[in-house]
Amino acid sequence: MSDHNAQSEVPQIYLLTPSAFDLETFSPLLAQVLEDHEIGCVRLALASKDEVELGRAADALREICHAKDVAIVIDSHVALAEKHGLDGVHLLDGARSLRDVRKTLGADAIVGSFCGTTRHDGMTAGEIGADYVSFGPAGSSALGTGAQAEKELFEWWSAMIEVPVVAEGALDIDTIKSLTPHTDFFAIGDEIWGQDDPSAALGTLIAAME
C-alpha cells in the first residue's frame, strides 16, 4: 500500500471480502470490482477458522488480485499469509503482536493494525512499524466495542502522523464525504457485497469522494 498524502489526493479503496462467502460466486464478483475500479489493496476477512477453507480462498483470491497488480492481505493469520504467498496481514490486536509479525514476515510484507478508536494504540503501532493504522467504525456500527472513531481522530492523525490511515466500518455516503480530506484509505466491504451490483455500489461510494 503506497503512502498518500491525504490532503492532496483522493483516498484509495481498501477492499474487504465478506466474512463468509462461496468462493465460486464471490470470485467473479471480486474480479469484476477489480476490473471496474482502482483498488489499493484487498483484505481476506473470512471469519472461518478452517485452515483448508481459508487456504483455498487465499489461493483463489491471490490469483485474481495479483493478475491486476493489487496486493492482498489476510486478517490475523500470519502463517497462512506466508504459506499462500499473500502480501501481508491485517492485525486485529492493535500494536500487541506487531513486532513478532514483522519479524516473521519480513520488511517487505504489508503489516497493518486495527486500533479501534484509540489514538494511543495507533501511535504505538505506527512507531513500531505498522504500514498503516485502521480506525473504526467510522460510521455507527457494532464493530469492536460499538464506540465510533470520530472525525476528529482522523483530522488529528492526518495532520500529525505520517503513517497512512484507514477509515473502516459502517461507511455511507455522508461519512465518506466527511472523511475524504482526512484519510488515506476507505475500507469497504459489507457496504457493497450485499447489493445487487457490488461494483456499481462501490462506484457510488467512490463518487462521494469527489
* Residue listed under C-alpha cell 465518506: 176
Tens-digit pLDDT profile for residues 82-121: 999 999 999 999 999 999 999 999 999 999 999 999 999 9
pLDDT of the residue at 1: 57
Number of domains in the chain: 1
Judge contact between 42 and 71, C-beta under 8 A. Answer: yes
Question: Nearest Cα to 116, choosing from 97, 136, 133?
Answer: 136
The answer to the question of residue 1 being in a domain is no
pLDDT of the residue at 140: 77
pLDDT of the residue at 146: 62
**pLDDT > 60? residue 143:** no
The answer to the question of residue 4 being in a domain is no
pTM of the model: 0.93
Tell me the H-state helices in the chain: 23-36, 51-67, 78-83, 98-105, 119-127, 151-160, 173-179, 190-193, 198-207
The answer to the question of residue 3 being in a domain is no
pLDDT of the residue at 6: 41
The answer to the question of residue 6 being in a domain is no
Judge contact between 75 and 44, C-beta under 8 A. Answer: yes
The answer to the question of residue 48 being in a domain is yes
Give the domain extent around 138.
12-207
CATH number, residue 65: 3.20.20.70
The answer to the question of residue 104 being in a domain is yes
Tens-digit pLDDT profile for residues 3-43: 444 445 899 999 999 999 999 999 999 999 999 999 999 99
Tens-digit pLDDT profile for residues 173-208: 999 999 999 999 999 999 999 999 999 999 999 999
The answer to the question of residue 7 being in a domain is no
The answer to the question of residue 55 being in a domain is yes
